[in-house]
């Protein structure tokens, strides 16, 4: 029984955390250190790959093109690759770091010099990454993420494993943190079969789009007459088969990316909070303090929800490493329905409501009517365009949009407790947001002419990691919620 197996994997051992922290600030000034010599090659290969991936149209033009234009494309490609080499060499020669008075200092640059001082109290997460090239060289990459800027403010690649662990321990020991349970407690693991389900429910077809773009670019090198002649010989059945093959390719690529990114995933308890580890070729280990969690979201797309799973995201104010797709720091790809509250309480120990079993407050009745009207209007624009080809049948889209809007508004709900704010929304892709009230940065009372027409308003709460807007409610109720949520913020400012 998969549900029983998943329940056994989650061990919810809650312990009362002490309010007393231990501070072991390092006050002595240490010597400046440089990166390992092998980091020059370890950093160069991924940088070249990113450059080629960004300039794939130039690479394709060089491979299939000809004439004078081909030399121009080749020169541009070599220029980009040369700049990547120069950037990597300059980074290795100029980057220096040290721990001074309990803070991490990093300096880099030759012409445009940069000097950064990272206070451990501002650190949101510390991540250790080891890709294939790191493994071959016996090195790792250390990422120190703060709320100060978009990306990893302290990025050191590549260090020895011992040096990375030493820096991480010094950063964590330089700030007072609550006493935590002993480290090593494995809280959640995800099986390969569950990861396959995650990849299938992700349904990314970006690989198909990319393949289509490459095919169009390649076909453009041939004459239009030869392309048209070749397309005449393709029967409708063959075209359908090619479409299904492309769709299967998209799902296969999605599953493959999921296994590469999350294979062997586990969440464990560390001495400073939680640790998330996973990855097949590139192994990532993210350590996150529970006190830094700003927002927890459970994402349940229709297919994943039918499997009995959802994806839990624990976000801090950090933004991820530069040059990479922004993603939440603590992402649990597959969490079973019967364990989601237990996992949420591990991340938010003072969570005083079960958002998935407790009775939440629904949207106002007029908000449901408004949802149907808005849905019909949105789909109506498409109906007007399609009516040229399919006639009056296109206007059934208006009814379809109205039904979807009505269903979506019916699923919206919210609740406010003394310590948390909960919001839920979405019909096909249901999402549940949990915001600790002590992390709220600002509260907004939102309205527009269409909302006021129905006597409605919405309340939005902004945190350092994002924002959550509650479902539409009556204006007087929205005023009361707004006043209740803004009072704690006023006390914190005072």
3-state secondary structure at position 319: coil
For residue 475, count other CB atoms closer than 10 A to its CB. 17
pLDDT at 250: 76
Is residue 488 over pLDDT 50? yes
Nearest to 298 by CA among 464, 471, 422, 438: 422
Task: Give the pLDDT band of residue 490 (cuts 50, 70, 90).
Answer: very low
**Residue in the structure block whose two tokens are 């922004």:** 326
Q: Output the CA angle 218-223-229, nearest 5 degrees.
A: 100
Are the C-beta atoms of 123 and 145 separated by less than 8 Å? yes
Is residue 148 over pLDDT 70? no
**Residue in the structure block whose two tokens are 């294939």:** 132
3-state secondary structure at position 258: helix
Q: How far from 10 is each of 1, 210, 306, 321, CA to CA, in Å? A: 15, 39, 21, 29
Are the C-beta atoms of 403 and 334 separated by less than 8 Å? no
pLDDT at 174: 66
The C-alpha torsion from 410 through 416 and 420 to 425, rounded to 10°, is 10
What's the chain's average pLDDT? Answer: 80
Each residue of 196-233: pLDDT tens digit? 999 988 855 554 555 555 555 554 555 555 555 555 55
Question: Which range, 271-285, 309-323, 388-402, is most confident?
Answer: 271-285
Q: Say how far apart CA 485 and CA 465 lie, in whole Å.
A: 18
Question: How many secondary structure helices (H) and strands (E) does the chain include?
Answer: 16, 21
Q: Is the pTM of this model over 0.85?
A: no
The average pLDDT across 367-388 equals 83
Each residue of 422-443: pLDDT tens digit? 999 999 999 999 999 999 999 9
**% the chain with pLDDT above 90:** 36
The average pLDDT across 333-353 equals 94
The average pLDDT across 28-45 equals 85
More confident residue, 392 or 115: 115
Going by C-beta distance under 8 Å and a sequence separation of 6 or more, which residues neighbour residue 477? 364
Is residue 479 over pLDDT 80? yes
């Amino acid at each position: 029984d998969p549900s029983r197996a998943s329940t056994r994997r989650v061990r919810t051992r809650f312990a009362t955390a002490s309010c007393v922290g231990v501070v072991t600030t390092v006050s002595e000034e240490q010597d400046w250190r440089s990166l390992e010599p092998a980091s020059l090659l370890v950093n160069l290969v991924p940088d070249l790959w990113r450059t080629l991936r960004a300039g794939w149209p130039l690479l394709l033009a060089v491979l299939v093109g000809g004439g004078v234009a081909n030399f121009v494309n080749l020169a541009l490609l070599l220029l980009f690759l040369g700049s990547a080499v120069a950037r990597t060499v300059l980074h290795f020669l100029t980057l220096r770091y040290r721990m001074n008075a309990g803070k991490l200092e990093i300096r880099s640059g030759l012409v445009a010099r940069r000097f950064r001082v990272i206070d451990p109290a501002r650190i949101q997460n510390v991540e250790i990454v080891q890709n294939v090239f790191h493994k071959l060289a016996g090195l790792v990459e250390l990422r120190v993420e703060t709320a100060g800027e978009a990306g990893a403010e302290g990025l050191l690649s590549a260090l020895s494993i011992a040096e990375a662990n030493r820096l991480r321990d010094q950063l964590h020991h330089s700030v007072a943190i609550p006493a935590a349970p002993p480290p090593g407690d494995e809280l959640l693991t995800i099986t390969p079969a569950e990861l396959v389900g995650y990849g299938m429910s992700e349904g990314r077809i970006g690989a198909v789009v990319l393949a289509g773009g490459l095919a169009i670019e390649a076909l453009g090198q041939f004459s239009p007459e030869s392309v048209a002649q070749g397309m005449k010989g393709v029967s409708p059945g063959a075209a359908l088969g090619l479409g299904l093959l492309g769709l299967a390719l998209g799902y296969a690529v999605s599953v493959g990316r999921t296994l590469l990114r999350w294979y062997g995933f586990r969440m464990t308890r560390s001495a400073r909070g939680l640790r998330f580890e996973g990855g097949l070729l590139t192994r990532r280990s993210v350590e996150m303090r529970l006190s830094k969690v700003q927002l927890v979201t459970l994402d349940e797309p229709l297919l994943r929800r039918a499997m009995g799973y959802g994806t839990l995201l624990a976000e801090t104010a950090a933004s991820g490493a530069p040059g990479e797709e922004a993603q939440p720091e603590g992402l649990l790809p597959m969490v079973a329905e019967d364990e989601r509250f237990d996992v949420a309480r591990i991340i938010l120990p003072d969570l005083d409501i079960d958002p998935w079993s407790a009775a939440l407050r629904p949207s106002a009745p007029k908000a449901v009517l408004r949802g149907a009207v808005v849905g019909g209007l949105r789909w109506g624009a498409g109906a007007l365009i399609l009516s040229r080809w399919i006639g009056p049948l296109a206007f059934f889209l208006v009814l379809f949009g109205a039904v979807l809007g009505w269903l979506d508004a019916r699923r919206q709900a919210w609740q406010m407790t003394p310590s948390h704010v909960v919001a839920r929304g979405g019909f096909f892709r249901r999402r549940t947001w949990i915001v600790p009230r002590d992390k709220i940065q600002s509260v907004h009372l939102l309205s527009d002419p269409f909302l006021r027409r129905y006597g409605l308003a919405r309340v939005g709460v902004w945190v350092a990691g994002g924002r959550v807007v509650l479902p539409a409610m009556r204006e007087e109720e929205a005023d009361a919620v707004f006043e209740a949520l803004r009072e704690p913020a006023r006390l914190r400012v005072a």
